[in-house]
Amino acid sequence: MATPKENLDPALLEIAKKSLKKKRDAWQFLTVTIVLNAFLSGVWWFTTPNGYFWPMWVMFGMGIGVVFAYLDAYSTLGDRPLTEDQIRAEAEKIQKRR
């Protein structure tokens, strides 16, 4: 049974909104990566089909970006909420540097 929107914590709704945005951004980045790599492979094919396959470097680099985008969007590694003590300690460090 679905929970009415009025009963949901606004902070939880904000977390859900950020999570959905990360997931959408990861899919968009994957799409851009596929289109760009297909284009570059086409350029390679029409210019030097039997030569050195240089688009692999772009594929490799963007592939790393895709992996990190998906880890950020779908894993729980960095999802631990910050505590007030952590925030206060960081603010004190910043204030000491000024």
10-residue mean pLDDT series, the chain (98 residues):
67 86 96 98 92 95 96 82 86 88
In whole angstroms, what is the distance from residue 76 CA to residue 84 CA? Answer: 20
In whole angstroms, what is the distance from residue 90 CA to residue 96 CA? Answer: 10
* pLDDT for the residue numbered 98: 79
Which residue is it, tokens 């007030």?
84
* pLDDT for the residue numbered 3: 55
Residue 43 to residues 21, 23, 38, 40, 92, Cα–Cα distance (Å): 33, 30, 9, 5, 54
Which residue is it, tokens 């902070």?
11
